[in-house]
Chains A and B, each alone.
Chain A
C-alpha cells in the first residue's frame, strides 16, 4: 500500500471515529429520509410542481448540512495535528509533503462522501420509489459531491493557514456564511442598492459556489422563478438548463481545484 493510501486510511478512520461526525451523518440521514418520505407525498397530490418544491427542500438541506459536515473534519485535518505535534512527527518520517496532503485530502473527502452517500442514498432511494426520475436524483447527488469537495478543499486550505483547529473552523464557517449571505438575497440587495450591471450579477452567481450549486441542481428541474430565484431564473433563461448546470459544475470544480492547490502549495512551503 502506498504511503498516501496509509494517510487516507488513517484520516478516514479518524473521521469515522469522531462522535460529532457520526451524529451529523445520522441527522443528515434522518432529515433526508423525512423530506423524501413526507415531502415527496405532494407528488401524487400536486404533480411535478409539488415534487419540485420538495426536491428544492432537499437541495436546501444539502446546502445547510454538506458544507458544515465537510468543513469540520477538513479544518481539523492539519491544524489539529499541528497543535498536537503529530504533524511535525509525521513529516519527520520518510514521506513527502505531497503524500501527507494528498492523504489527508483523500481521507477526509472519502469520509464526507461516505456520509453524504448514506444520507442521500437513502433519501434518493425513497424519492425514486415515489416517482422521482432517477436522473434527477443522480444530478443532485453529483452536485452534492461537488459541494462537499469544495468545502473539504476550503477547510483543508484554512487548516493549512490557520494556527489552530478552532481558527480554521471559524474561518470556514465565516466564509460559508458570507457565501450564503451573498447568494440570491445579497445579490438582489446589491443590485437594487447600487444598480449593478446584470453581467456582474450573473458572473457572481457562478463564482459563488453556494449559489452555483443551487442554480445547477434546481435548473435541472426546469424550474421557474419561484424556485430558482430572480438571478437564477435570469441565468437559466440565458444559458438554458444544461448550460446552467454545466457552468455551475465547472465553477464548483474550480472551487475544488483552486483551494486544494493553494492549500497544497502553502503546506509544501510552510508545513
Chain B
C-alpha cells in the first residue's frame, strides 16, 4: 500500500528524513512515533505530495511525485488541527464530496454513524463546530470516499478526553482492509489502533515492530511512588538505594523508585519491615515518551 525508498528531505541545512525505506502492506495498522521534530509530519507531507523530496514514494501503486492526484485519490487524510472553512457544515460536505467525486449519501451515512446527523448540523457555520466534531467530519469524508489508506496526523491531539474516545472508537470500527498510518504522541491512541509501530529518530527508522515487542524491549518497569513522613524520608531513601533499586527519585514529599511491575509489593514490605510508615503510594506506568526515550537510548529520568 505504501512504498518508500531512499526518502530524503532537508529543510535548509537540517536533514529531516535520511534515506528512509519503508513498506506498509494492505490492511496494516501502523503507528508512526517519534520525539518532537523526528520527522513524522514531514513524512506525512511527503506521502501527501505536499512538499518536494528526494527518493521514491508510491501509494497503492501510484507514484506520489508523478501522479500526485491519483495517489491522493487513494487516501483520506485527517490532520492534527481541524482546518476552518468559510460557510456552513452542509456547504463543506458538498464542496469536498464534489471535489472527490463522492456520493454525498456515503459521507452522510458515515456522519450518522459518528453521531453527526447532517440534518441537525447542516446549517451551522463550520466555525461553530467543536474541534472534535470537525475531526469526525474529516474522518467521515475520508471514510465516505472509500479509500484504501487513511493518513492520520495526530488527529486527537487537540481533542478533549471524551471526543478522543469517540474518535478512537470510530477508528476501531474502520473496515479491516483499510490501511491506517497514524502519527501520534499518545500511547493510548497507538494501543487502540495500531498493530505495528514505527519509531522515527534522526531521520531513520529506529524501531519497527509490534507494541508488545516495544514493551518487551523496554521491560516491565514502572515507577512506584511512596509518600513517607518527612522525618523518615532520608532514611527511606537510603534504604531503597541500599536495595540497589535503580533511579531513586525525589519529588517533594514522595520518593519514586523504578521497579518491575510484579515487585511493587516487595518494596512496600521492605519499608514496613524497617518501620518506615508509608502514608500513600501509587504507580506510574511509563509514558510513550518514556518508552521512546528508552528505546532510542536517550537515558532515563533522574
A91-B48 in contact (CB<8A): yes
Bits for B55-98, please: 1 = Cβ < 8 Å to A, else 0: 00000000000001110110101010111111100000001101
List of A residues within 8 angstroms of B176 by Cβ: none
How many angstroms between the C-alpha atoms of A17 and B85 in the bound complex? Answer: 13
Segment among A58-66, A82-90, A256-264 that sits at the interface with chain B: A82-90
B84-A86 in contact (CB<8A): yes
Residue from B72, B79, B86, B151 having most chain A Cβ neighbours under 10 A: B86
How many angstroms between the C-alpha atoms of A179 and B96 in the bound complex? Answer: 40
Bits for A233-271, please: 1 = Cβ < 8 Å to B, else 0: 000000000000000000000000000000000000111
Minimal beta-carbon separation of A22 from chain B (angstroms): 14
| CB of A45 within 8 Å of the partner chain | no
Query: For this complex, into which size category does the number of interface residues on chain A fall?
Result: 20 to 34
Q: Which of B45, B69, B86, B138 contacts A95 (CB 8 A)?
A: B69
- Number of B interface residues, CB 8 Å? 27
Query: Across the two chains, which residue of chain A brings its CB closest to B147?
Result: A94
List of A residues within 8 angstroms of B50 by Cβ: 88, 91-92, 271
Minimal beta-carbon separation of A102 from chain B (angstroms): 14
A84-B83 in contact (CB<8A): yes
B68-A6 in contact (CB<8A): no
List of B residues within 8 angstroms of A17 by Cβ: 86-87
Minimal beta-carbon separation of B194 from chain A (angstroms): 21
Bits for B174-214, please: 1 = Cβ < 8 Å to A, else 0: 00000000000000000000000000000000000000000
B98-A14 in contact (CB<8A): no
| CB of B217 within 8 Å of the partner chain | no
Q: Which of B73, B83, B87 contacts A88 (CB 8 A)?
A: B83
Given known A-B contacts A92-B72, A93-B96, A93-B99, A85 and B84 have beta carbons under 8 A apart: yes
**Which residues of chain B from 79 to 130 have any CB-CB distance to chain A below 8 Å in the complex?**
79, 81-87, 95-96, 98-100
Given known A-B contacts A93-B72, A94-B70, A94-B100, A86 and B95 have beta carbons under 8 A apart: no
How many angstroms between the C-alpha atoms of A84 and B84 in the bound complex? Answer: 6
How many angstroms between the C-alpha atoms of A86 and B100 in the bound complex? Answer: 16
| CB of B51 within 8 Å of the partner chain | yes
Query: Across the two chains, which residue of chain A brings its CB closest to B47?
Result: A92
Bits for A98-111, please: 1 = Cβ < 8 Å to B, else 0: 00000000000000
A1-B51 in contact (CB<8A): no
Q: Which of A1, A85, A88, A269 contacts B98 (CB 8 A)?
A: A1
Minimal beta-carbon separation of B180 from chain A (angstroms): 16
| CB of A130 within 8 Å of the partner chain | no
How many angstroms between the C-alpha atoms of A161 and B96 in the bound complex? Answer: 26
Given known A-B contacts A92-B77, A269-B52, A14 and B69 have beta carbons under 8 A apart: no
Given known A-B contacts A6-B95, A88-B50, A14 and B72 have beta carbons under 8 A apart: no
B83-A86 in contact (CB<8A): yes
How many angstroms between the C-alpha atoms of A92 and B96 in the bound complex? Answer: 11
Q: Which of A1, A81, A89, A94 contacts B79 (CB 8 A)?
A: A89
**Which residues of chain B from 201 to 258 have any CB-CB distance to chain A below 8 Å in the complex?**
none
List of A residues within 8 angstroms of B51 by Cβ: 270-271
Extra contacts besides A93-B96, A94-B99 (5): CB < 8 Å: A6-B98, A14-B86, A88-B45, A93-B72, A96-B69
Which residues of A come within 8 Å of B, CB atoms? 1, 3, 6, 10, 13-14, 17, 81, 84-89, 91-96, 269-271
Query: Can you sample 28 A-B contacts with CB below 8 Å?
Result: A1-B98, A6-B95, A13-B87, A14-B87, A17-B86, A84-B83, A84-B84, A84-B85, A85-B81, A85-B84, A86-B85, A87-B83, A88-B45, A88-B79, A89-B79, A91-B48, A92-B48, A92-B50, A92-B72, A92-B75, A92-B77, A93-B99, A94-B69, A94-B73, A95-B72, A96-B69, A270-B51, A271-B50
